[in-house]
């Protein structure tokens, strides 16, 4: 998704958001709670896009009960367009192996490289094809509030069950701006907040989350800071998924996480399901940790893209700025597949190393 996108084709104004008070901020030099300026909200008579037809009957509780959500990879044709046949096959394998939710166009799905029309198409396609078998969570977040609002409304209009929302990255804002941003989209439908400071360079502090948790549309949090933070939330009754595969077993069984929003489940959905559902299993966890390490050696989803191509379930096509792992890493992956067992991985072709010139990279598409 073109996350810098602020389409001006629709000058659409809804009721202004209510402004929240009393945000504690670490930037405040005085030892007092900093209170947000009571900036006026411009009211006007344009209405938000809404529909009375009930497209989906998913409750907040249904979303909260999901334990295994896969941040599914988006496969490409050689010209850089979506390969929907390969995508459908990926989603079907996820469903068959017990995955309960699909995150569409997330970081792993390369949402930041999509146009909005591609992204909404993919969400709608997923709902239409699989919406009765798996919950569809659309990544509708952006660092632009206007874009986040529009993408969220559109996503719910095509029937997604929940939206994932990152805090504004790169063009960072104040904590007060953070609350204003989130309140703009929380009124639209069920929202999962996503905190990954290694990518955004801004941690969403517990004080902000607790403030937002007062809104009934807050489903929970996808948290990447670590298990201590997860426990801090789950002890307060806030639902959390870990976003880190490597710590997900412990998060689930020792720190109160409801489950995982996973990258690795793209490859081994059955084993991830076992980790989340079948009780503590330190043996299985340590068996798959080398795979988790391999997957995270370069920014997600570089290694995942490489691995799925080696397994023959997607074409070896990369949208820039992502590029495949080099040949020695690909050889390592073949070894990992042998050690864990090919039968646990998606697809049924023999895993290949692939030559460098098998890969296609596209900058214009």
For another protein, which residue of 31, 42, 54, 132 counts as binding (CB under 8 A)? 42
Between residue 11 and residue 30, which ones bind another protein under the rule CB under 8 A?
Answer: 11-14, 16-17, 19, 27
Smallest distance from another protein to CB 232, Å? 23
Q: What SS3 class is residue 320? A: coil
The distance of closest approach from Cβ of residue 251 to another protein in the complex, given in angstroms and rounded to an integer, is 23
Taking each helix axis from N to C terminus, what angle separates 145-157 and 116-130, rounded to the nearest 10 degrees? 30
231 is catalytic: no
Interaction with another protein in 187-206: which residues (CB under 8 A)? 198-201
Q: Which stretch binds another protein (CB under 8 A): 178-186, 209-217, 234-242, 339-347?
A: 178-186
Task: Return the residues of window 246-285 that contact another protein according to CB under 8 A.
Answer: none
What number of CA atoms fall less than 13 Å from residue 330's CA on the CB side?
Answer: 22
Contact 181, 167 (CB under 8 A): yes
- Contact residues for 215 (Cβ-Cβ < 8 A; gap 6+): 183, 186, 187
Q: Could you tell me which stretch among 53-61, 243-251, 318-326, 338-346 binds another protein (CB under 8 A)?
A: 318-326
Pick the catalytic residue: 76, 87, 182, 194? 194
Segment near another protein (CB under 8 A), from 211-219, 222-230, 295-303, 335-343?
295-303
The reply on whether position 8 binds another protein by CB under 8 A is: yes
**Contact call for residue 217 and another protein (CB under 8 A):** no
The DSSP string of 170-238 is: SS---HHHHHHHHHHHHTTS-EEEEE-HHHHS----HHHHHHHTTSTTEEEEEE-S-HHHHHHHHTTT-
Question: Shortest approach of another protein to residue 217 CB, angstroms?
Answer: 16
Measured in whole angstroms, the distance separating CA 263 from the mean position of its chain's CA atoms is: 9
Q: Which CB atom, from 152 or from 265, has the smaller least distance to another protein? A: 152
Residue 362 lies near another protein (rule: CB under 8 A): yes
| Cβ partners under 8 Å of residue 199, min gap 6 | 107, 169
With beta carbons less than 8 A apart as the criterion, state whether 256 and 230 touch: yes
Residues in 90-109 at the binding interface with another protein, rule: CB under 8 A: 107
C-alpha 355/C-alpha 262 separation (Å) is 28
Q: Return the residue of 171, 215, 235, 348 that touches another protein, per CB under 8 A.
A: 171
CB of residue 110 to another protein, shortest distance in Å:
7
* 194 in catalytic set: yes
Task: Using the minimum distance from each CB to another protein, give the nearer residue, 176 or 245.
Answer: 176
Cα torsion 158, 62, 167, 295 to 10°: value is: -100
Report if residue 124 touches another protein, rule: CB under 8 A: no
Cα separation, 364 vs 79, whole angstroms: 8
Among 34, 82, 130, 253, binds another protein (CB under 8 A): 34
Token pair 């990518």 is found at 199
CB of 365 to another protein, least distance (A): 6
Q: Does 364 bind another protein (CB under 8 A)?
A: yes
- 349 part of the interface to another protein, by CB under 8 A: no
Binder to another protein among 302, 307, 314, 340 (CB under 8 A)?
A: 302
For another protein, give the closer residue by CB, 40 or 54: 40
Nearer to another protein, 171 or 341 (CB): 171
Nearest alpha carbon to residue 177 among 34, 365, 80: 34
HSE (side-chain half, CA atoms, 13 Å) at 262 = 33
Is the distance from CB of 256 to CB of 231 less than 8 angstroms?
A: yes
User: Which is the catalytic residue, given 73, 87, 222, 233?
Assistant: 222
**Which residues are catalytic, by number?**
194, 222
């Amino acid at each position: 998704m073109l996350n810098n996108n602020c389409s001006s084709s629709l000058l659409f104004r809804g009721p202004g958001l209510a402004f929240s008070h009393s945000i504690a901020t670490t930037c405040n030099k005085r030892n007092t709670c900093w209170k947000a300026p009571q900036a006026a909200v411009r009211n006007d008579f344009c209405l938000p896009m809404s529909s009375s037809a009930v497209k989906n009957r998913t409750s907040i509780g249904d979303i909260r009960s999901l334990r295994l959500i896969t941040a599914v990879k988006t496969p490409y044709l050689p010209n850089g367009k979506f390969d929907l046949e390969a995508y459908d096959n990926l989603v079907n394998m996820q469903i068959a192996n017990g995955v309960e939710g699909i995150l569409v166009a997330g970081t792993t799905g390369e949402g930041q490289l999509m146009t909005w029309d591609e992204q909404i198409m993919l969400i709608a396609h997923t709902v239409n094809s699989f919406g009765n078998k798996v919950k569809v969570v659309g990544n509708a977040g952006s660092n632009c509030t206007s874009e986040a609002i529009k993408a969220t409304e559109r996503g719910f209009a095509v029937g997604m069950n929940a939206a994932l929302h990152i805090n504004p990255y790169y063009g960072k804002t104040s904590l007060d701006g953070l609350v204003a941003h989130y309140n703009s989209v929380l009124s639209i439908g069920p929202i999962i907040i996503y905190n990954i400071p290694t990518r955004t360079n801004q941690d969403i502090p517990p004080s902000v989350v607790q403030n937002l948790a007062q809104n009934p549309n807050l489903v929970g949090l996808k948290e990447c800071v670590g298990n201590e933070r997860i426990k801090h939330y789950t002890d307060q009754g806030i639902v959390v998924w870990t976003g880190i595969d490597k710590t997900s077993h412990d998060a689930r069984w020792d720190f109160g996480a409801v489950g995982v929003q996973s990258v690795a489940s793209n490859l081994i959905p059955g084993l991830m399901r076992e980790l989340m559902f079948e009780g503590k299993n330190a043996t299985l966890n340590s068996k798959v940790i080398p795979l988790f390490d391999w997957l995270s050696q370069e920014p997600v989803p570089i290694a995942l893209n490489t691995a799925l191509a080696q397994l023959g379930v997607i074409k070896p096509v990369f949208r820039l700025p992502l590029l495949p792992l080099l040949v020695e890493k690909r050889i390592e992956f073949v070894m990992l597949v042998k050690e864990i067992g090919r039968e646990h991985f998606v697809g049924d072709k023999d895993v290949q190393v692939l030559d460098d010139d098998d890969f296609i990279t596209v900058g214009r598409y």
